[in-house]
Amino acid sequence: MERLQKVIAHAGVASRRKSEELIEAGRVKVNGKTVTALGTKVAVDDVIEVDGVPLDKEPLVYYLFYKPRGVISAASDNKGRKVVTDFFPEVDERIYPVGRLDYDASGLILLTNDGAFAQALAHPSKKIDKVYVAKVKGLPTREKLAPLKKGIYLDGRKTAPAKISILSADRQKENGIVQLTIHEGRNHQVKNMLKAVGYPVEKLKREKFGPFTLEGMQSGDKRALSRREVERLFPF
């Protein structure tokens, strides 16, 4: 027996948290009966439906997407703003983004309907590197960026050590380009880290997620990942 929200997440319908929201909203049925109690346990042979769709009807899919700036990293937005799933009108599966990428940031993001895959990548123990390139105000120096290599405190929690490289510095414009590699995924983490050491971010782009890069892609491009590619991050 497994908890209902865990089964829904592993089936790829949504993340664990979103699965709990679906249950509480009365959108889940078990053997034809609506279930709203979190923690309900189900057996392998139970018939589970979400919005009337049996869990085993939807194949698992995985996509790499070059998110443009000005797009929300979500499957929907109550303010009517453009979201990443708007770029996948031909995809019938209920995909959603893995992790965050700020509204005004661009770059690589993964989308899937595989809840187990999404949860595994978000777990700190995976330590999957994410590489960002940031345009910052001020002339970056190794000395001022050095604390990020050991970790700094943000909201009372210390960040994991980051890898830092200065790609360029423009004395006339008083700005620079910094590459930062981290494996955490806190809200606005890269911006907050750089701001904390005196370099507010003007532009931010994620260029790499684990083994995946933006090579050969333009803003707004997408492509499906093969099973072999997915297994590089999440063995089946």
- Is 102 annotated in the active site? yes
Q: How far apart are CA 68 and CA 103, in angstroms?
A: 9
Residue with tokens 């830092």: 164
Residue of 120, 192, 201, 204 whose CA lies nearest to 158? 192
**Residues 47 and 69 sit within 8 Å (Cβ to Cβ):** no
Q: How far apart are CA 153 and CA 146, in angstroms?
A: 14
Helix (H) or strand (E) holding 192: helix 189-196
- Sequential DSSP letters for 210-228: TTEE-TT--TT-EEEPPHH
Beta strand 157-158 pairing with 153-154:
antiparallel
**Residues 94 and 14 sit within 8 Å (Cβ to Cβ):** yes
Q: How far apart are CA 222 and CA 199, in angstroms?
A: 32
Question: 45, 51, 92, 102: which is the annotated catalytic residue?
Answer: 102
Q: Which residues are part of the catalytic machinery? A: 102
